[in-house]
């Protein structure tokens, strides 16, 4: 069969699969259909995902993967063909023979993974502790690495570290496939994770490890413990920080060119002071320090953080959690400010970012006040899912006479301007803009560690990736259907940062990355049938 004929038939097969997929009403049915398709014909699966990413990312990843994880033990036996392994499950019983267990996991001949995504299932999306059922997340995330940046699917390793679950309902569920015991204490936890990571590094020294959906109490600790020792990063913390930083960079550029706001004059209020808020604030602060050459202390003072008790200040009278202390204000002269509207009046922010999970917190009063203070208020309600968002796109447009510069954490419908029928599409700070390119860059350049600078240049490359038309139309993020092009630019920036003596011209490196991307159309059909 010639390549041309085969492409044609893969094209027809794709249309057939798409028709089947679209005939299913329930998202979970679509998820199961896709999982089964992947074990039968990996090339067809990825051709569908790559060419219909906007339609299929919500099926193979959020929000559907959340439902799939809730049901994982119930559906797992029907997802894959018998004998086709679907990720590496590790538990305490594997520890004495861990090298062998990891080496023996050979989903493909001569398996040599470039990227592993590892979770312990302890904080799956906003769904809490799902134990072993969290495996849907590493699997889905790695599919996005393949679709978004062209990592070879045969070189990905999803890992679920099953250390039990504190979810009692799961432990008592007769179909639950995981360990039916409570999670270990911190001492045992860190000792096990140390062993697992050390062994993974022994067996696959060049592999990038991405931490995903670990409980907040461990996520920062794990990152601090390993980020300077091995090739790893945490997407919830660093990926989110980078993608939001990128949107903020473009928002700052826009209000500078359209309203003349000096970037150094921004004042930023964070509503919510959890791990996401602090992670994002730290990344945005880097922009002011690196791009705007501000000393650290001056850059830090551009941030005001609000938690459930009001503005976070050093003299508020309560014991602040460690992660809030860095941004706690000490210039408040004893004044304590409660309520977001009062904080907005007090700070007069140019940028308002929501990471609180408090639905509707950016109410009409707050939005109108932002619009009164700023010609182009920058407002990012980032809480997920849509039911938790601080405001919708429509509310933000209506309350600001359509002047808002907006990005959300969840996808909102487009808004049609009254009168002239012009439709405006809201931007979404989707982590998918960063992690695939970051992973591909690391897989190709193989640095010893992922540095802060690499995350920063990844964010900047994303901000710089807008086409002139996207810029002209006021977008903060590129079109998702250009994801592979964008990922190549992100990867190139990471590679140049990793080794500027080896990788130089951004365009040339970006072309090289594109040439290295796995493409289902180029697969030998004889090989496809075996994978």
Has 384 been labeled as part of a binding site?
yes
Stretch that binds ligand NAD, among 32-40, 249-257, 275-283, 287-295 (CB under 6 A): 275-283
Catalytic center residues: 61, 141
Listed in sequence order, the DSSP H helices in 326-409 are 340-347, 364-373, 393-399
308 binds ligand NAD (CB under 6 A): yes
Q: Does residue 133 interact with ligand NAD by CB under 6 A?
A: no
Q: Is the peptide bond before 63 cis (omega within 30 degrees of 0)?
A: yes
User: Which one among 133, 156, 167, 240 touches ligand NAD, defined by CB under 6 A?
Assistant: 240
* Angle, alpha carbons 370-374-380 (nearest 5°): 55
Stretch near ligand NAD under the rule CB under 6 A, chosen from 15-23, 187-195, 269-277, 368-376: 269-277
Give the separation between CA 472 and CA 457, rounded to whole angstroms: 23
374: alpha, beta or left? (left if phi > 0; alpha if psi -120 to 50): beta
381 is an interface residue for ligand NAD by CB under 6 A: no
Write the interaction track for ligand NAD spanning residues 206-225; mark x where CB under 6 A is met and - where it is not.
----------x---------
Among 63, 221, 263, 274, binds ligand NAD (CB under 6 A): 274
- Residues 100 and 95: their CA atoms lie apart, in Å, by 10
User: Which of 307, 427, 464, 523: binder of ligand NAD (CB under 6 A)?
Assistant: 307
Using CB under 6 A as the binding rule, whether residue 369 contacts ligand NAD is answered as no
- Identify each DSSP E strand in 182-341 by its residue range: 208-211, 232-234, 268-271, 303-307, 310-311
Q: CB–CB of 395/383 below 8 Å? A: no
Stretch that binds ligand NAD, among 368-376, 382-390, 443-451, 480-488 (CB under 6 A): 382-390
The answer to the question of whether 511 is labelled as a binding residue is no
Report the distance separating Cα 436 and Cα 480, nearest Å: 13
Exposure string over 55-72, b if 16+ CB within 10 A, otherwise e: ebbbbbbbbbbbbbbbbb
The single residue among 114, 383, 465, 489 that binds ligand NAD, judged by CB under 6 A, is 383
Q: Is 481 annotated as a binding residue?
A: no
Pick the closer one to ligand NAD by CB: 184 or 274: 274
Find residue 258's DSSP bridge partners: none
Contact flags string 399-428 toward ligand NAD, x per CB under 6 A: ----------x-------------------
166 binds ligand NAD (CB under 6 A): no
Q: Is 285 in the site for ligand NAD (CB under 6 A)?
A: no
- Between residues 45 and 456, which has the closer beta carbon with respect to ligand NAD? 456
Local structure of 411: helix, strand or coil: coil
DSSP per-residue string spanning 144-209: HHHHHH---GGGEEEEEEE---S-HHHHT-TT--S--SPPPPHHHHHHHHHHHHHHHHHHSTT-EE
The token pair at 337 is 């400010």
Residues contacting ligand NAD: total by CB under 6 A:
24
Q: Does 276 bind ligand NAD (CB under 6 A)?
A: yes
Nearer to ligand NAD, 162 or 307 (CB): 307
Stretch of 27-35, 78-86, 192-200, 378-386 lying at the interface with ligand NAD (CB under 6 A)? 378-386
- 337 CB burial (10 A radius; 0-12, 13-18, 19+): buried
271 touches ligand NAD (CB under 6 A): yes
Distances in whole angstroms, Cα of residue 497 to Cα of each of 53, 250, 531: 29, 21, 35
In the bound state, the residue with its beta carbon closest to ligand NAD is: 274
Binding stretches for ligand NAD (CB under 6 A): 126, 216, 240, 271-277, 306-308, 355-358, 382-384, 388, 409, 429, 431
Annotated binding site: 123, 212-213, 236, 384, 430
């Amino acid at each position: 069969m010639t390549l041309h004929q085969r492409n044609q038939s893969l094209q027809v097969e794709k249309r057939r699969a798409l028709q089947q997929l679209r005939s299913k009403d329930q998202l979970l049915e679509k998820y199961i259909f896709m999982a089964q398709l992947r074990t039968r014909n990996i090339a067809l699966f990825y051709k569908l995902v790559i060419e219909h990413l906007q339609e299929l990312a919500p099926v193979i990843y959020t929000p559907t993967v959340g439902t799939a994880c809730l049901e994982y033990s119930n559906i797992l036996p029907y997802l894959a063909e018998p004998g086709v392994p679907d990720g590496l499950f590790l538990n305490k019983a594997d520890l004495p023979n861990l090298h062998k267990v990891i080496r023996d996991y050979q989903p493909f001949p001569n398996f040599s993974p470039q990227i592993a995504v590892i979770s312990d299932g302890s904080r799956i999306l906003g769904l809490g502790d799902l134990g072993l059922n969290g495996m849907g997340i590493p699997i889905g995330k790695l599919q996005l690495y393949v679709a978004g940046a062209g990592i070879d699917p045969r070189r990905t390793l999803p890992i679920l570290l099953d250390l039990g679950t504190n979810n009692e309902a799961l432990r008592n569920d007769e179909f639950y496939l995981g360990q039916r015991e409570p999670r270990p204490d911190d001492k045992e936890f860190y000792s096990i994770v140390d062993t697992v990571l050390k062994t993974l590094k022994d067996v696959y020294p060049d592999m990038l490890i991405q931490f995903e959906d670990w409980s907040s109490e461990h996520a920062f600790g794990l990152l601090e413990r390993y980020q300077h020792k091995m090739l790893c990063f945490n997407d919830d913390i660093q990926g989110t920080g980078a993608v939001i930083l990128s949107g903020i960079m473009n928002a700052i550029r826009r209000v500078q060119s359209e309203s003349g706001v000096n970037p150094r004059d921004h004042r930023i209020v964070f509503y919510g002071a959890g791990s996401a808020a602090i992670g994002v604030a730290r990344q945005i602060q880097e922009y002011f320090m690196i791009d705007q050459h501000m000393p650290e202390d001056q850059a830090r003072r551009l941030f005001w953080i609000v938690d459930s008790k009001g503005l976070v200040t050093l003299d508020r009278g309560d014991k602040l959690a460690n992660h809030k202390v860095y941004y706690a204000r000490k210039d408040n002269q004893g004044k304590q400010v409660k309520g977001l509207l009062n904080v907005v009046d007090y700070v007069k922010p140019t940028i308002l970012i929501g990471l609180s999970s408090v639905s509707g917190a950016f109410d009409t009063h707050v939005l109108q006040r932002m619009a009164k203070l700023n010609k182009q208020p920058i407002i990012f309600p980032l809480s997920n899912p849509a039911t938790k968002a601080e405001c919708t796109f429509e509310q933000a447009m209506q309350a600001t006479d359509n002047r808002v510069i907006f990005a959300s954490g969840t996808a909102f419908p487009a808004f049609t301007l009254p009168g002239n029928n012009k439709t405006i599409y809201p931007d979404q700070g989707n982590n998918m803009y960063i992690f695939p390119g970051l992973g591909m860059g690391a897989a190709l350049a193989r640095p010893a560690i992922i540095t802060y600078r690499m995350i920063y240049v990844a964010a900047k490359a994303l901000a710089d990736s807008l086409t002139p038309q996207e810029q002209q139309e006021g977008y903060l993020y590129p079109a998702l259907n250009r994801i592979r092009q964008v990922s190549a630019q992100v990867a190139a920036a990471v590679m140049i940062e990793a080794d500027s003596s080896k990788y130089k011209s951004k365009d040339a490196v970006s072309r090289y990355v594109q040439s290295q991307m796995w493409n289902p159309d180029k697969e030998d059909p004889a090989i496809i049938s075996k994978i």
